[in-house]
Amino acid sequence: MNSRWFALLSLASLLPASGLVAQEAIQPGARVRVTAAGVLRPVTGTIFSVDSASITLRDAEGRAGQVIRFESVQMMEVARGSRSHAGTGALIGTLVGGAFGVYLLIGLSDPGTTARTRDVALFIAVTSAAGAALGGIVGLAIRSPRWEETSVPRVSLMPQPGGFVLSMSLKL
């Protein structure tokens, strides 16, 4: 009996720390994006269950759906909250506002008059700033998941009735 525990602890000490951290990250309920061999686009879903060799994603009704084996996984990412697009919106708004300002100056100016450079620059700056503010507000409202790459468990030690199962997969 003691030799079994010694062997089990010896094997457990060989498990890489990153593999153990990855198993914590891919628990049921986690939202993941998986790129796997033989699949054209990454698969995105919520984990239904995890075992030593695969993950099962939830289907639309919340039941067990697609099964993805760890040996076919090329990259796995976990959703870590969401992020806004305020900066991108402000940048696009600045460009659109500046272009709109130039358009207004060209369209509204009289052909025989000349505007002072300072007034033209001020007008374009104001329309650019207004566009940046509006674009930033719109970008703030647009949110998308923030994905963080996680390692795929290649070595796992899973409790089973009557003992443990040690599973290893090598990618050459």
pLDDT in tens, 38-64: 888 888 888 898 887 888 888 777 777
Q: Which residue has the higher pLDDT, 42 or 17?
A: 42
Distance CA 18, CA 22 (A): 6
68 and 29: one domain?
yes
Whether residue 131 is found in the same domain as residue 154? no
Q: Is the dihedral of CA 59, 63, 31, 78 positive or negative?
A: negative
Instruction: Check whether residue 23 and residue 50 sit in a common domain.
Output: yes
* Shared-domain flag, residues 106 and 77: no
pTM of the predicted structure, to 2 decimals:
0.54
Same domain, 79 and 91: no
Q: Are residues 41 and 122 in the same domain?
A: no
Same domain for 74 and 91 = no
Whether 76 and 150 share a structural domain: yes
Instruction: Give pLDDT, residue 128.
Output: 95
The enclosing domain of 24 has a CATH number of: 2.30.30.100
pLDDT (tens digit per residue) in 81-112: 889 999 999 999 999 999 999 998 888 777 76
Examine the domain organization and report whether 71 and 15 are in the same domain. Answer: yes
Same domain, 60 and 15: yes
Give yes or no for residue 123 having a pLDDT over 60. Answer: yes
Rounded to whole angstroms, the Cα distance separating 106 from 162 reads 82
Q: What is the extent of the structural domain holding 22? A: 8-83+145-168
Taking each helix axis from N to C terminus, what angle separates 86-108 and 117-141, rounded to the nearest 10 degrees? 140
Please state, rounded to an integer, the average pLDDT across all residues of the chain.
79
